[in-house]
Structures are given as C-alpha cells and as structure tokens.
Amino acid sequence: ITAYNRRTFETARHNLIINIMSAEDFPLPYQAEFFVRNMNVEEMLASEVLGDFLGAVKNVWQPERLNAINITSALDRGGRVPLPINDMKEGVYVMVGADVPFSSCLREVENPQNQLRCSQEMEPVITCDKKFRTQFHIDWCKISLVDNTKQVSTFQEVIRGEGILPDGGEYKPPSDTLKSRDYYSDFLITLAVPSAIALVLFLILAYIMCCRREGVEKRNMQTPDIQLVHHSAIQKSTKELRDMSKNREIAWPLSTLPVFHPVTGEIVPPLHTDSYDNTSMPLMQTQQ
C-alpha cells in the first residue's frame, strides 16, 4: 500500500499480505444483510465496531460460525449524501453469513404485520431490536435474508452507484523502491522561463518608448503653420509676464501709492522727501 500526504507530498509504503481462501471450504449458505443507519463505512470497518456488531448478531442468531461477507456504503447503493448537521451518518450495508438457518427473531421481518408497517413507512415490531439499539440503529425494513440451500433469494438487486469502479484489468503495483525526485529543474522551468520572457518584453517596450521617439522636428512638420504661430505667441506672452514679475523690486509709481490711512482715514504724508525727484519715476512702467 502506497500512500502520500496531499499537503506535504510525504510518501509512505506498507506491505499487507492477504490470504484468500476458497468459499467451498467454509460454506455459509444462510446470509443476512443489515442496514445500519448510524454508521459510516469507515467506522464499521474498524475491528472493534465490527466485532461488536457480529457479537450482537450472534446473540440473536446463535450460529456455530458467523463471518462478515460484505460491507458497503449506502452511497454506493444509490443513497444520498447526508446533511452536515446533528452528526448525521451516510449508513452502511453489512452482509453476514452463517451455517444455521435464520432465527425466529430475524424471520419476524417477513410477518404480514411488519410488511404492512414497512409499506406505511413505520417501524416494524422486532423483539430482538433491543440487543442492537444500544450501539447500532438497524433499519429492519431493509433487511435481506438469503437462503442459498433453496436457491430462492429475497435479496434485491444491488444498484451500482458511482463508488463502484469498472474493472480495469490486473492491478500492477509500483516498484518496491521509492526513488526521490529532484524538483530543481521543474522550479527553473516554472519560474525562470516566464521571468526571462517578461524581461525580454520589458526591454522591447522600453526601447520602443524611449529610443524610438519621433521628436519635436517631426511634430512641427506635421503641425499647421497658423497653429505654430499661435503657440509661439503664447510662449512669448508668458515669457514677458514672467520677466515683469521679476522686476517687482522697483519702486511703484506715485499714482499707485495710498493717499489715506486704511484704518484711521487720515491723510498719509508723502513717502518721499521734497528733495526726491518725482520726475525720474514714470507713472506707468513701460514695457521693455
């Protein structure tokens, strides 16, 4: 048996030897199939739980030899997946075989009264149900009794579900030795190759955006002359305004100086003395 962890990919190997013996050596002509509602197939496969179930069956059947023949999940018989509430179980079918005829307790399922109650979806009255009820909830309406000595079977046909795989021929197990695999090359192919392709595309795009620009000359050749004249006039006017803003440290003209005090309203004396030559400062700054 080879198993691996899906998260860590840790692999383990265990050798299991199974001895299969012929059925003729151990004839079990009387077979009964029980449907256990409160169990999953994984829980029933545990040796302790299966032993308790066979012990309960042996108490109501009293056979000399009793073996479990088949354990099948209800999902493989067309059952539905239970809701994940109240710890609901999927149910499991357990077929057991014995070498003695069925007991009177098991035959009670075939009574007309119990058959009528099952048709009305009611629990049948079984005297030995209390021996199972402590641990196993048996659906007595789904029990099947098979008597191979008479070749008359009341066992219904098994409806194969999706859990039964088709026959794929003889199984070929892997080799006994597990070889370690180096994932360094896979890492390079997965990470290095896309990174190299992305770098090449980035360089091509940078070359197109930075080194293949058409330039100002080609733009001016394709632009109408009147648009270039307007653009040049706007640039000249902007330059003149900037030059004028740089000359703000020159004294303002007398016509722009305040005459009255802004708070008291009194007449403000002249800022310049009488010896100041007013004729040397024009009223308006002329453009250069």
The rounded distance, in Å, linking the Cα atoms of 28 and 146 is 11
Which parts of the chain are beta strand (E)?
2-4, 11-13, 30-36, 66-73, 92-98, 144-147, 152-153
Query: Long-range contacts: 164-168, Cβ < 8 Å, 24+?
Result: 164/76
In 3D, which of 101, 108, 45, 51 has the Cα closest to residue 72? 45
Q: Which residue ranges make up each domain of the chain? A: 27-149, 189-219
Q: What pLDDT score was predicted for residue 150? A: 75
Q: What pLDDT score was predicted for residue 24? A: 64
Residue in the structure block whose two tokens are 């151990």? 26
Q: What pLDDT score was predicted for residue 146? A: 87
Q: What pLDDT score was predicted for residue 288? A: 46
Q: What pLDDT score was predicted for residue 224? A: 83
Report yes or no: 118 and 50 within 8 Å, Cβ to Cβ.
no
Q: What pLDDT score was predicted for residue 263? A: 64
Q: What is the pTM of this model?
A: 0.48
Q: In the chain, how many H helices and how many E strands?
A: 9, 7
User: What is the residue-level pLDDT of the chain in tens, covering all 288 positions?
Assistant: 888 898 888 888 888 999 887 766 667 888 999 999 888 889 999 889 999 999 999 988 888 888 898 999 988 888 888 777 777 888 899 999 998 888 888 888 888 888 888 888 888 888 888 888 888 999 999 888 888 877 554 455 555 555 666 666 777 776 767 677 778 888 888 888 899 999 999 999 988 888 776 666 777 777 788 887 888 889 888 888 888 877 765 655 555 555 666 666 666 665 554 444 444 555 455 554
Look up residue 272 and give its amino acid: H
The rounded distance, in Å, linking the Cα atoms of 95 and 145 is 10
Report yes or no: 29 and 149 within 8 Å, Cβ to Cβ.
yes
